[in-house]
Amino acid sequence: MSSSAEREWRQATDTFDRALAGCDDPAAVLALLDEDATDDLPIGAKTAAFERLLALGHRTPVVLRRYADHLWLHGPESDERVTALRAEADQLTPR
C-alpha cells in the first residue's frame, strides 16, 4: 500500500472510530452492522461496533451470538471469550 493510501486508510478508520465513540444510539450501531452483510467493513471496525453495543448495554442474545460468531471467524480472540459470549446469550434466551 502506498503511503498516501495508508494515510487515507488511517484517516478513514480514525473518522469511523470517532463517529462510533460518539454514537449513543444502539439502533444506529445495529443498523451499521446490518448494512455490512457482505463484510465490507474492516474486521477491527466491526469488532469496535460490537464492543460499542456492549458498552451501551445492548446485550441481547442475537447481538451476543453475532459477536461471538464474528470473533470465532476473525479472531484473534480466545475460545474463552467466544464461549462466554455464547453462554451469556443462552442465559438471556427465554426457555
Q: How far apart are CA 70 and CA 26, in angstroms?
A: 18
> Around Cβ 32, how many Cβ atoms within 10 Å?
19
pLDDT digits (tens, 9 = 90+) for 31-51: 989 888 777 888 888 999 999
pLDDT of residue 95: 80
C-alpha cell at 90: 443462552
Question: For the chain, which ranges sit under pLDDT 50?
Answer: none
Q: Residue 89 in contact with residue 66, Cβ under 8 Å?
A: no
pLDDT at 77: 63
* Total domains, the chain: 1
Find the domain containing 38 and state its range.
3-92
* Runs of H (alpha helix) within 1-95: 3-21, 26-35, 43-55, 61-74, 79-92
Q: Dihedral of the CA atoms 24, 28, 29, 33 (nearest 10)? A: 180
pLDDT at residue 10, as a whole number: 84
